[in-house]
């Protein structure tokens, strides 16, 4: 009994000493690590269609290179066609390996092809990685150059230099060699990948080489992938101040509204061009809806919209873009 009391006292003394040590040491430890919001959510949409949603740290480089002030989300879609797997977009560069392992564990397949909606870092940044992993990468001619320089905006025109934000830059030097066969905005071209049919529509504005993609899935429903031609709605962001998904696309809208005139991109970039692309998408969505074979819109950011919300969603995008025209 006596011995036990002694032990208890010894332990108590050790605890007090440990507490004192920690109290003294805590102020000496380095500053708390920056928040890390990065993760990938996996959504099974049925019929062999998947949505992978990357949460990407947004860094305020005016503070420091590790000042994570929030996050933004981007969608990568995977389409299973028999034994093949086709991606719509490739996510950011630094999450490509992680995305790949999420895709293979969800579908049991590695991507055979990647169809890019446009050249921006959150959509095309992972393209070089998937190319190395054996996928054929497809893009629009106007996106090929931007992917090669690894930037969201071209630097041919020096007035764009101020638009370089390190969050939206990726490794230069890779350019996809498979180009969509498109010569006029709105004109569609058919792309066959191992029996899977894709209709590519050039919908410029948000970027010179932005396209929208229609896929007719085996159950007869048409899916319309719109990339960033459609806008994320603020109401669809997570209800936390550091979800910047809407804010960042809105910021891009401000950027493209300030395209200098005259510019080599007059016909392919700008809010007025994006507006006419959105009107083309409204017509296509209306036709698909009329045929009763429309699944819905699968945008580049935030959640998909089922067929009966397609016109409503497109009108919301038009309203946001129209304010800048
Ligand atoms: Zn974009």
Domain edges within the chain: 39-322
Instruction: Kindly report the number of other CB atoms within 10 A of residue 288's CB atom.
Output: 22
pLDDT, tens digit, 9 for 90 and up, residues 109-125: 999 999 999 999 999 99
Q: How far is the CA of 183 from the centre of ligand 1 (A)?
A: 21
Q: How far is the CA of 71 from the centre of ligand 1 (A)?
A: 15
CA dist 56 to 24, 38, 74, Å? 36, 5, 8
Q: How far is the CA of 2 from the centre of ligand 1 (A)?
A: 74
Q: How far is the CA of 196 from the centre of ligand 1 (A)?
A: 26
Q: What is the pLDDT of residue 157?
A: 59
Q: How far is the CA of 172 from the centre of ligand 1 (A)?
A: 17
Given a cut of 50, whether residue 148 has pLDDT beyond it is yes
Q: Tokens representing 216?
A: 């007719």
Beta-carbon contacts of residue 307 (< 8 Å; ≥ 6 apart)? 288, 289, 294, 295, 296
Given a cut of 70, whether residue 15 has pLDDT beyond it is no
Q: What is the pLDDT of residue 27?
A: 47
Q: How far is the CA of 177 from the centre of ligand 1 (A)?
A: 21
Of the given ranges (15-24, 72-81, 236-245, 305-314), which has the lowest mean pLDDT?
A: 15-24
Of 232 and 262, more confident? 232
Q: How far is the CA of 222 from the centre of ligand 1 (A)?
A: 23
Given a cut of 90, whether residue 84 has pLDDT beyond it is yes
CATH class of residue range 39-322: alpha beta
Q: How far is the CA of 117 from the centre of ligand 1 (A)?
A: 9
């Amino acid at each position: 009994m006596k011995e036990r009391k002694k032990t208890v006292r010894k332990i108590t003394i050790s605890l007090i000493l440990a507490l004192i040590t920690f109290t003294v040491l805590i102020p000496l430890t380095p500053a708390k690590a920056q928040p890390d919001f990065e993760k990938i959510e996996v959504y099974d949409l049925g019929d062999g269609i998947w949505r992978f949603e990357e949460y990407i740290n947004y860094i305020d480089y005016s503070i420091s290179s590790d000042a994570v002030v929030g996050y933004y989300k981007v969608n990568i879609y995977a389409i299973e066609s028999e034994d093949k797997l086709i991606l719509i977009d490739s996510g950011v560069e630094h999450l490509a390996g992680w995305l790949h392992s999420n895709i293979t564990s969800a579908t049991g397949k590695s991507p055979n092809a990647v169809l890019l909606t446009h050249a921006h870092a959150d959509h095309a940044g992972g393209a070089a990685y998937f190319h190395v992993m054996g996928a054929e990468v497809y893009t629009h001619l106007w996106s090929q150059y931007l992917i090669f320089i690894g930037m969201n905006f071209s630097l041919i025109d020096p007035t764009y230099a101020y638009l370089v934000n390190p969050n939206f830059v990726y490794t230069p030097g890779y350019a996809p060699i498979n180009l969509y066969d498109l010569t006029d905005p709105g004109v569609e071209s058919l792309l066959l990948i191992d029996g899977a049919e894709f209709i590519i529509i050039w919908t410029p504005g948000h970027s010179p080489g932005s396209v929208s993609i229609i896929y007719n899935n085996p159950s007869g429903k048409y899916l319309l992938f719109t990339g960033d031609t459609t806008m994320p709605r603020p109401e669809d962001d997570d209800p936390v101040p550091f979800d910047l998904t809407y804010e960042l696309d809105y910021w891009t809208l401000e950027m493209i509204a300030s395209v200098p005139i005259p510019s080599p991109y007059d016909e392919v970039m700008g809010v007025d061009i994006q507006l006419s692309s959105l009107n083309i998408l409204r017509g296509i969505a209306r036709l698909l809806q009329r045929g009763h074979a429309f699944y819905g819109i699968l945008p580049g950011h935030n959640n998909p919209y089922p067929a009966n919300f397609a016109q409503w969603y497109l009108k919301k995008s038009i309203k946001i873009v129209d304010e800048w025209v």
